[in-house]
Amino acid sequence: MKKASNLKSIEPRLNVSSFTPSEITHALKREGIHLSVGTYTIHLQSAIPSVSESISLLYADYPLNEDTSFADFHVSINHPRNVRRWIHPQAIFRIETYEPFKPLPADQAYPLLEWGLNWCVSTQYHRYLVVHAAVVEKNGRAMILPAPPGSGKSTLCAALVLRGWRLLSDELTLVSLNDMQIVPMCRPISLKNESIPIIQKYDESVTMSRPSFDTNKGTVAHMKAPKESIQRVRETAPPAWIVFPKYQPGTAAKLDKFSKASAFMGVAANAFNYSMLGAQGFQTVSKLIDRCDCYEFSYSNLDEAISMFDRLAQQ
Amino acid sequence: MTRLPRVLFDVKTADTCRWRRCDGREFVLREWEDGAVLYDAASGDTHHLSLAAAQVLQHLHNQPSTLEGLATGMLSSGQEAADGQTFLALEALVEHLNKLGLIEKSIEPEKH
Protein backbone atom coordinates (compact mmCIF):
# COMPACT_ATOMS: atom_id res chain seq x y z
CA MET A 1 0.00 0.00 0.00
CA LYS A 2 1.24 3.50 -0.83
CA LYS A 3 2.33 5.50 2.18
CA ALA A 4 0.64 8.86 2.40
CA SER A 5 3.70 10.45 4.03
CA ASN A 6 6.09 9.21 1.29
CA LEU A 7 3.98 10.76 -1.46
CA LYS A 8 3.57 14.12 0.23
CA SER A 9 5.63 15.99 -2.39
CA ILE A 10 3.87 14.33 -5.33
CA GLU A 11 0.25 14.46 -4.13
CA PRO A 12 -0.78 17.07 -1.58
CA ARG A 13 -3.08 14.63 0.18
CA LEU A 14 -4.21 11.07 -0.39
CA ASN A 15 -7.82 10.09 -0.17
CA VAL A 16 -9.31 6.68 0.55
CA SER A 17 -9.98 6.44 -3.20
CA SER A 18 -6.23 6.69 -3.82
CA PHE A 19 -6.13 3.03 -2.78
CA THR A 20 -7.85 -0.06 -4.13
CA PRO A 21 -10.59 -1.64 -2.00
CA SER A 22 -8.30 -4.61 -1.33
CA GLU A 23 -5.55 -2.27 -0.12
CA ILE A 24 -8.03 -0.58 2.22
CA THR A 25 -9.26 -3.98 3.45
CA HIS A 26 -5.69 -5.05 4.09
CA ALA A 27 -4.76 -1.83 5.92
CA LEU A 28 -7.95 -1.92 8.02
CA LYS A 29 -7.24 -5.51 9.04
CA ARG A 30 -3.67 -4.76 10.09
CA GLU A 31 -2.60 -1.35 11.37
CA GLY A 32 -5.84 0.44 10.53
CA ILE A 33 -6.33 3.75 8.69
CA HIS A 34 -6.38 7.37 9.90
CA LEU A 35 -9.43 9.07 8.41
CA SER A 36 -9.63 12.83 8.53
CA VAL A 37 -13.23 14.01 9.03
CA GLY A 38 -13.02 17.78 9.32
CA THR A 39 -12.19 18.72 12.87
CA TYR A 40 -11.27 15.23 13.96
CA THR A 41 -9.27 12.18 12.97
CA ILE A 42 -10.42 8.62 13.38
CA HIS A 43 -8.02 5.74 13.65
CA LEU A 44 -10.12 2.82 12.46
CA GLN A 45 -9.22 -0.85 12.51
CA SER A 46 -11.54 -3.64 11.32
CA ALA A 47 -11.31 -7.13 9.95
CA ILE A 48 -14.96 -7.24 8.89
CA PRO A 49 -15.35 -7.22 5.08
CA SER A 50 -18.64 -5.25 5.04
CA VAL A 51 -16.93 -2.44 6.98
CA SER A 52 -13.99 -2.14 4.57
CA GLU A 53 -16.42 -2.36 1.64
CA SER A 54 -18.47 0.54 3.01
CA ILE A 55 -15.38 2.58 3.90
CA SER A 56 -14.03 2.23 0.35
CA LEU A 57 -17.42 3.19 -1.06
CA LEU A 58 -18.67 5.94 1.26
CA TYR A 59 -15.41 7.46 2.49
CA ALA A 60 -13.71 7.42 -0.94
CA ASP A 61 -13.34 11.23 -0.99
CA TYR A 62 -12.09 11.60 2.59
CA PRO A 63 -8.41 12.36 3.15
CA LEU A 64 -6.21 9.91 4.99
CA ASN A 65 -4.31 11.69 7.70
CA GLU A 66 -0.59 11.60 7.10
CA ASP A 67 0.26 12.06 10.75
CA THR A 68 -0.52 8.63 12.17
CA SER A 69 0.89 9.46 15.60
CA PHE A 70 -2.36 11.06 16.74
CA ALA A 71 -6.08 10.42 16.37
CA ASP A 72 -9.02 11.88 18.27
CA PHE A 73 -10.74 8.51 18.34
CA HIS A 74 -9.06 5.11 18.16
CA VAL A 75 -11.92 2.81 17.23
CA SER A 76 -12.24 -0.73 16.00
CA ILE A 77 -15.08 -2.92 14.86
CA ASN A 78 -14.46 -6.64 14.86
CA HIS A 79 -15.99 -9.99 15.67
CA PRO A 80 -16.01 -10.69 19.41
CA ARG A 81 -13.59 -13.40 20.48
CA ASN A 82 -16.15 -16.02 21.41
CA VAL A 83 -18.12 -18.87 19.86
CA ARG A 84 -20.30 -16.27 18.07
CA ARG A 85 -17.38 -15.75 15.71
CA TRP A 86 -18.58 -18.80 13.84
CA ILE A 87 -22.26 -19.23 14.77
CA HIS A 88 -24.44 -16.19 13.96
CA PRO A 89 -21.37 -13.94 13.90
CA GLN A 90 -21.54 -10.60 15.67
CA ALA A 91 -19.71 -7.30 15.54
CA ILE A 92 -18.48 -5.27 18.48
CA PHE A 93 -17.52 -1.59 18.52
CA ARG A 94 -14.60 -0.49 20.66
CA ILE A 95 -13.09 2.89 21.42
CA GLU A 96 -9.63 2.18 22.79
CA THR A 97 -10.50 -0.88 24.90
CA TYR A 98 -13.96 0.33 25.95
CA GLU A 99 -17.07 -1.32 24.54
CA PRO A 100 -19.98 1.14 24.89
CA PHE A 101 -22.55 -1.13 23.19
CA LYS A 102 -23.51 -4.78 23.24
CA PRO A 103 -22.44 -6.77 20.16
CA LEU A 104 -24.81 -6.70 17.21
CA PRO A 105 -25.25 -9.16 14.32
CA ALA A 106 -22.25 -8.91 11.98
CA ASP A 107 -24.56 -7.75 9.17
CA GLN A 108 -24.99 -4.51 11.17
CA ALA A 109 -21.25 -3.89 11.55
CA TYR A 110 -21.11 -0.78 9.35
CA PRO A 111 -24.18 0.97 10.87
CA LEU A 112 -22.74 0.08 14.29
CA LEU A 113 -19.52 1.86 13.33
CA GLU A 114 -21.46 5.00 12.33
CA TRP A 115 -23.53 4.89 15.53
CA GLY A 116 -20.34 4.38 17.51
CA LEU A 117 -18.69 7.40 15.91
CA ASN A 118 -21.76 9.49 16.73
CA TRP A 119 -21.51 8.26 20.30
CA CYS A 120 -17.82 9.31 20.42
CA VAL A 121 -18.63 12.85 19.31
CA SER A 122 -21.79 13.30 21.38
CA THR A 123 -20.15 12.10 24.60
CA GLN A 124 -16.73 13.70 24.23
CA TYR A 125 -16.99 16.89 22.19
CA HIS A 126 -17.89 19.34 24.89
CA ARG A 127 -16.20 22.33 23.35
CA TYR A 128 -19.31 22.38 21.20
CA LEU A 129 -22.98 22.32 21.97
CA VAL A 130 -23.85 18.99 20.34
CA VAL A 131 -27.43 18.93 19.07
CA HIS A 132 -29.20 15.90 17.65
CA ALA A 133 -30.02 17.64 14.39
CA ALA A 134 -29.20 17.63 10.71
CA VAL A 135 -27.55 20.80 9.42
CA VAL A 136 -27.16 22.05 5.86
CA GLU A 137 -25.89 25.29 4.33
CA LYS A 138 -26.75 27.48 1.39
CA ASN A 139 -25.51 30.95 0.45
CA GLY A 140 -23.23 30.95 3.47
CA ARG A 141 -25.97 30.37 6.05
CA ALA A 142 -26.73 27.20 7.99
CA MET A 143 -30.14 25.63 8.55
CA ILE A 144 -30.47 23.40 11.61
CA LEU A 145 -33.09 20.64 11.52
CA PRO A 146 -33.57 19.20 15.01
CA ALA A 147 -36.10 16.44 15.28
CA PRO A 148 -36.83 13.13 16.96
CA PRO A 149 -36.46 9.86 14.99
CA GLY A 150 -39.27 9.33 12.50
CA SER A 151 -39.73 13.02 11.69
CA GLY A 152 -38.15 12.65 8.26
CA LYS A 153 -35.10 14.73 9.21
CA SER A 154 -32.52 12.56 7.43
CA THR A 155 -34.69 12.08 4.33
CA LEU A 156 -35.15 15.82 4.05
CA CYS A 157 -31.44 16.40 4.68
CA ALA A 158 -30.49 13.86 1.97
CA ALA A 159 -32.86 15.48 -0.53
CA LEU A 160 -31.52 18.96 0.26
CA VAL A 161 -27.90 17.96 -0.30
CA LEU A 162 -28.85 16.17 -3.52
CA ARG A 163 -30.29 19.50 -4.71
CA GLY A 164 -27.29 21.68 -3.96
CA TRP A 165 -27.33 22.40 -0.24
CA ARG A 166 -24.03 21.68 1.47
CA LEU A 167 -24.07 18.89 4.03
CA LEU A 168 -22.61 19.83 7.38
CA SER A 169 -24.08 16.86 9.23
CA ASP A 170 -27.12 14.61 9.02
CA GLU A 171 -27.10 13.69 12.70
CA LEU A 172 -25.05 15.95 14.99
CA THR A 173 -24.95 19.73 14.82
CA LEU A 174 -21.82 21.11 16.44
CA VAL A 175 -22.23 24.70 17.67
CA SER A 176 -18.92 26.28 18.64
CA LEU A 177 -19.05 27.68 22.17
CA ASN A 178 -16.48 30.31 21.18
CA ASP A 179 -17.95 31.93 18.11
CA MET A 180 -21.37 30.30 17.54
CA GLN A 181 -20.30 28.98 14.15
CA ILE A 182 -21.61 25.63 12.99
CA VAL A 183 -18.71 23.23 12.57
CA PRO A 184 -19.21 20.59 9.84
CA MET A 185 -19.10 16.93 10.74
CA CYS A 186 -19.84 15.72 7.28
CA ARG A 187 -20.22 11.91 7.19
CA PRO A 188 -22.50 9.53 5.29
CA ILE A 189 -26.23 10.15 5.75
CA SER A 190 -28.11 7.44 7.63
CA LEU A 191 -31.39 6.48 5.97
CA LYS A 192 -34.02 4.14 7.33
CA ASN A 193 -36.77 1.93 5.95
CA GLU A 194 -38.96 3.70 3.31
CA SER A 195 -36.47 6.57 3.07
CA ILE A 196 -33.96 4.31 1.32
CA PRO A 197 -36.00 3.66 -1.88
CA ILE A 198 -37.40 7.22 -1.75
CA ILE A 199 -33.91 8.74 -1.93
CA GLN A 200 -32.70 6.16 -4.48
CA LYS A 201 -35.64 7.17 -6.66
CA TYR A 202 -35.14 10.88 -5.94
CA ASP A 203 -31.65 10.75 -7.42
CA GLU A 204 -30.70 7.60 -9.27
CA SER A 205 -27.00 8.52 -9.25
CA VAL A 206 -26.84 8.41 -5.46
CA THR A 207 -24.20 6.14 -3.90
CA MET A 208 -25.52 4.05 -1.05
CA SER A 209 -24.20 1.27 1.15
CA ARG A 210 -25.67 -2.20 1.14
CA PRO A 211 -28.67 -2.11 3.51
CA SER A 212 -28.53 -3.78 6.91
CA PHE A 213 -31.79 -5.44 7.88
CA ASP A 214 -33.54 -5.95 11.22
CA THR A 215 -31.53 -3.36 13.13
CA ASN A 216 -33.26 -1.74 16.10
CA LYS A 217 -34.12 1.09 13.69
CA GLY A 218 -35.37 -1.28 10.98
CA THR A 219 -33.55 -1.44 7.66
CA VAL A 220 -30.63 1.01 7.53
CA ALA A 221 -28.44 2.17 4.64
CA HIS A 222 -25.97 5.04 4.38
CA MET A 223 -25.78 7.56 1.55
CA LYS A 224 -22.40 8.94 0.46
CA ALA A 225 -21.95 12.62 1.24
CA PRO A 226 -21.45 14.87 -1.81
CA LYS A 227 -17.81 15.38 -2.74
CA GLU A 228 -18.07 19.17 -2.49
CA SER A 229 -19.38 18.95 1.08
CA ILE A 230 -16.45 16.72 2.04
CA GLN A 231 -13.95 19.09 0.42
CA ARG A 232 -15.43 22.03 2.35
CA VAL A 233 -15.59 20.15 5.65
CA ARG A 234 -13.34 22.69 7.41
CA GLU A 235 -15.55 25.62 6.35
CA THR A 236 -17.83 26.66 9.19
CA ALA A 237 -21.13 28.49 8.68
CA PRO A 238 -23.16 30.92 10.81
CA PRO A 239 -26.57 29.61 11.94
CA ALA A 240 -29.51 31.36 10.28
CA TRP A 241 -32.55 29.08 10.61
CA ILE A 242 -33.83 26.44 12.99
CA VAL A 243 -36.53 24.33 11.38
CA PHE A 244 -38.38 21.56 13.20
CA PRO A 245 -39.50 19.21 10.41
CA LYS A 246 -42.33 16.71 10.51
CA TYR A 247 -43.25 14.30 7.76
CA GLN A 248 -47.04 14.21 7.39
CA PRO A 249 -48.30 11.99 4.58
CA GLY A 250 -50.65 13.70 2.13
CA THR A 251 -50.11 17.26 3.31
CA ALA A 252 -48.84 20.25 1.37
CA ALA A 253 -45.53 21.73 2.54
CA LYS A 254 -46.17 24.26 5.30
CA LEU A 255 -43.62 26.50 6.99
CA ASP A 256 -44.86 28.34 10.08
CA LYS A 257 -42.99 30.70 12.38
CA PHE A 258 -42.25 29.00 15.68
CA SER A 259 -42.11 30.70 19.05
CA LYS A 260 -38.49 31.38 20.00
CA ALA A 261 -39.01 30.19 23.58
CA SER A 262 -40.51 26.92 22.27
CA ALA A 263 -37.64 26.60 19.79
CA PHE A 264 -35.23 27.08 22.69
CA MET A 265 -36.83 24.18 24.54
CA GLY A 266 -36.78 22.06 21.37
CA VAL A 267 -33.06 22.67 20.81
CA ALA A 268 -32.22 22.10 24.49
CA ALA A 269 -34.18 18.83 24.52
CA ASN A 270 -32.21 17.63 21.48
CA ALA A 271 -28.79 18.72 22.77
CA PHE A 272 -26.76 15.85 24.18
CA ASN A 273 -24.61 18.01 26.46
CA TYR A 274 -27.00 20.87 27.29
CA SER A 275 -27.27 19.86 30.98
CA MET A 276 -23.58 19.08 31.24
CA LEU A 277 -22.66 22.55 29.97
CA GLY A 278 -24.90 24.14 32.62
CA ALA A 279 -25.21 27.93 32.38
CA GLN A 280 -22.93 27.92 29.33
CA GLY A 281 -25.35 25.57 27.59
CA PHE A 282 -28.24 27.93 28.41
CA GLN A 283 -26.32 30.96 27.11
CA THR A 284 -25.28 29.11 23.94
CA VAL A 285 -28.81 28.00 23.09
CA SER A 286 -30.02 31.56 23.84
CA LYS A 287 -27.49 33.03 21.41
CA LEU A 288 -28.37 30.41 18.81
CA ILE A 289 -32.07 31.30 19.08
CA ASP A 290 -31.23 35.04 18.87
CA ARG A 291 -29.38 34.49 15.58
CA CYS A 292 -31.96 32.25 13.92
CA ASP A 293 -35.42 32.50 12.47
CA CYS A 294 -37.36 29.56 13.91
CA TYR A 295 -39.97 27.52 12.06
CA GLU A 296 -42.14 24.44 12.27
CA PHE A 297 -42.28 22.62 8.97
CA SER A 298 -44.60 19.84 7.81
CA TYR A 299 -44.26 18.17 4.43
CA SER A 300 -44.92 15.08 2.40
CA ASN A 301 -43.36 16.00 -0.94
CA LEU A 302 -39.61 16.48 -1.15
CA ASP A 303 -39.67 18.77 -4.22
CA GLU A 304 -42.13 21.11 -2.49
CA ALA A 305 -39.93 21.11 0.60
CA ILE A 306 -36.76 21.89 -1.36
CA SER A 307 -38.39 24.70 -3.28
CA MET A 308 -39.70 26.24 -0.04
CA PHE A 309 -36.23 26.08 1.56
CA ASP A 310 -34.57 27.45 -1.58
CA ARG A 311 -36.89 30.47 -1.40
CA LEU A 312 -35.99 30.92 2.25
CA ALA A 313 -32.28 30.82 1.40
CA GLN A 314 -32.75 33.53 -1.21
CA GLN A 315 -34.40 35.99 1.18
CA MET B 1 -43.20 43.12 27.61
CA THR B 2 -46.74 41.83 28.14
CA ARG B 3 -48.79 43.84 30.58
CA LEU B 4 -51.87 42.80 32.44
CA PRO B 5 -55.05 44.16 30.90
CA ARG B 6 -56.55 47.47 31.90
CA VAL B 7 -59.21 46.21 34.30
CA LEU B 8 -60.42 46.77 37.83
CA PHE B 9 -58.97 44.86 40.73
CA ASP B 10 -60.99 43.73 43.75
CA VAL B 11 -58.68 44.29 46.71
CA LYS B 12 -60.99 42.39 49.07
CA THR B 13 -59.80 39.07 47.60
CA ALA B 14 -56.16 39.92 48.02
CA ASP B 15 -53.88 37.62 50.05
CA THR B 16 -51.64 39.60 52.35
CA CYS B 17 -48.81 37.04 52.25
CA ARG B 18 -45.63 38.31 50.62
CA TRP B 19 -43.76 36.41 47.92
CA ARG B 20 -40.11 36.57 46.98
CA ARG B 21 -37.66 34.80 44.72
CA CYS B 22 -36.15 31.76 46.44
CA ASP B 23 -33.24 32.74 48.65
CA GLY B 24 -29.76 32.09 47.29
CA ARG B 25 -31.01 30.78 43.97
CA GLU B 26 -29.35 32.07 40.84
CA PHE B 27 -31.63 32.39 37.85
CA VAL B 28 -30.88 33.42 34.30
CA LEU B 29 -33.91 34.71 32.40
CA ARG B 30 -34.23 35.24 28.66
CA GLU B 31 -37.27 36.77 27.07
CA TRP B 32 -38.41 36.96 23.49
CA GLU B 33 -41.54 38.59 22.17
CA ASP B 34 -43.51 35.34 22.44
CA GLY B 35 -42.25 33.73 25.63
CA ALA B 36 -39.39 33.30 28.03
CA VAL B 37 -37.03 30.66 29.37
CA LEU B 38 -35.35 30.55 32.75
CA TYR B 39 -32.26 28.66 33.87
CA ASP B 40 -32.11 27.66 37.51
CA ALA B 41 -28.42 27.25 38.29
CA ALA B 42 -29.06 25.38 41.55
CA SER B 43 -31.12 22.59 40.01
CA GLY B 44 -29.82 22.82 36.44
CA ASP B 45 -33.45 22.90 35.27
CA THR B 46 -34.66 25.07 32.41
CA HIS B 47 -38.25 26.32 32.50
CA HIS B 48 -40.39 27.55 29.63
CA LEU B 49 -42.39 30.49 30.97
CA SER B 50 -45.03 32.89 29.78
CA LEU B 51 -44.07 36.54 29.59
CA ALA B 52 -46.40 37.22 32.54
CA ALA B 53 -44.48 34.65 34.64
CA ALA B 54 -41.20 36.28 33.62
CA GLN B 55 -42.62 39.64 34.65
CA VAL B 56 -43.60 38.27 38.07
CA LEU B 57 -40.08 36.93 38.59
CA GLN B 58 -38.52 40.22 37.58
CA HIS B 59 -40.81 42.11 39.89
CA LEU B 60 -39.94 39.78 42.80
CA HIS B 61 -36.26 40.06 42.01
CA ASN B 62 -36.37 43.67 43.08
CA GLN B 63 -38.40 43.17 46.24
CA PRO B 64 -40.82 40.76 47.95
CA SER B 65 -44.43 41.55 47.21
CA THR B 66 -48.00 40.61 47.99
CA LEU B 67 -50.29 39.52 45.19
CA GLU B 68 -51.85 42.93 45.34
CA GLY B 69 -48.45 44.58 45.03
CA LEU B 70 -47.60 42.32 42.12
CA ALA B 71 -50.84 43.11 40.35
CA THR B 72 -50.31 46.81 40.82
CA GLY B 73 -46.66 46.63 39.79
CA MET B 74 -47.47 44.73 36.63
CA LEU B 75 -50.16 47.10 35.42
CA SER B 76 -49.17 49.03 32.37
CA SER B 77 -48.82 52.76 32.69
CA GLY B 78 -52.13 54.50 32.84
CA GLN B 79 -53.89 51.45 34.32
CA GLU B 80 -55.37 51.87 37.74
CA ALA B 81 -56.36 48.39 38.88
CA ALA B 82 -56.83 44.77 37.85
CA ASP B 83 -60.11 42.84 38.11
CA GLY B 84 -60.85 39.68 40.09
CA GLN B 85 -60.37 37.41 37.10
CA THR B 86 -56.93 38.79 36.39
CA PHE B 87 -56.10 38.56 40.04
CA LEU B 88 -57.08 34.86 40.10
CA ALA B 89 -54.88 34.25 37.07
CA LEU B 90 -52.01 35.96 38.85
CA GLU B 91 -52.65 33.88 41.96
CA ALA B 92 -52.50 30.67 39.88
CA LEU B 93 -49.31 31.89 38.22
CA VAL B 94 -47.68 32.61 41.58
CA GLU B 95 -48.73 29.18 42.83
CA HIS B 96 -47.21 27.58 39.72
CA LEU B 97 -43.90 29.44 40.18
CA ASN B 98 -43.91 28.35 43.81
CA LYS B 99 -44.39 24.71 42.79
CA LEU B 100 -41.47 25.05 40.38
CA GLY B 101 -39.34 26.16 43.32
CA LEU B 102 -38.66 29.58 41.84
CA ILE B 103 -40.44 31.69 44.45
CA GLU B 104 -41.40 31.23 48.07
CA LYS B 105 -43.38 32.92 50.78
CA SER B 106 -41.35 35.63 52.45
CA ILE B 107 -40.59 35.28 56.13
CA GLU B 108 -39.83 38.98 56.54
CA PRO B 109 -42.22 40.77 58.87
CA GLU B 110 -44.58 43.00 56.97
CA LYS B 111 -43.77 46.69 57.29
CA HIS B 112 -46.62 48.97 58.35
How sure is the predictor about B110, in pLDDT bands with cuts at 50, 70 and 90?
low
The ipTM value here is 0.84
Q: Confidence band (pLDDT; 50, 70, 90) for B17?
A: confident
Report the percentage of chain A scoring pLDDT > 90: 88
Instruction: Write out pLDDT tens, residues A143-161.
Output: 999 988 778 899 999 999 9
pTM for the model stands at 0.89
Which chain B residues are Cβ-neighbours of A283 within 8 angstroms?
A: 28
Q: B34 and A275 in contact by Cβ < 8 A? A: no
Q: Nearest by CB to A275, from B30, B37, B44: name it.
A: B44
Query: Average pLDDT of chain B?
Result: 80
Confidence label for A179 from pLDDT (cuts 50, 70 and 90): very high
* B54 within 8 A of B31, measured Cβ to Cβ: yes
Cα A71 from Cα B111, distance rounded (Å): 66
Cβ proximity of A175 and A129 under 8 Å: yes
Which of the four pLDDT bands, split at 50, 70 and 90, describes residue A303? very high
- Closest in B33, B37, B44 to A265, CB measured: B37
Question: Greatest CA span in chain B, whole angstroms?
Answer: 39
Angstroms from A173 CA to nearest CA on chain B: 21
Position B4 scores a pLDDT of 43
Torsions phi, psi of A183, nearest 5?
-100, 120
Q: How many angstroms away from the CA of B9 is the closest CA of chain A?
A: 30
**Which are the contacts of A194, defined by CB distance < 8 A and separation ≥ 6?**
none
Given the DSSP bridges, would you call strands A218-223 and A189-192 parallel, antiparallel or unpaired? antiparallel
Look at residues A190, A163, A184, A173 and name the one whose alpha carbon lies nearest to residue A307. A163
Of the residues B37, B38, B40, the best mutation for testing chain A's interface (the one with the most A CB atoms within 10 Å of its CB) is B37
What 3 state SS string does A232-286 have? CCCCCECEEEEEEEEECCCCCCEEEECCHHHHHHHHHHHECCHHHHCHHHHHHHH
Q: Which of A43, A49, A62 is nearest to A22 (CA)?
A: A49
The total number of residues shown for chain B amounts to 112
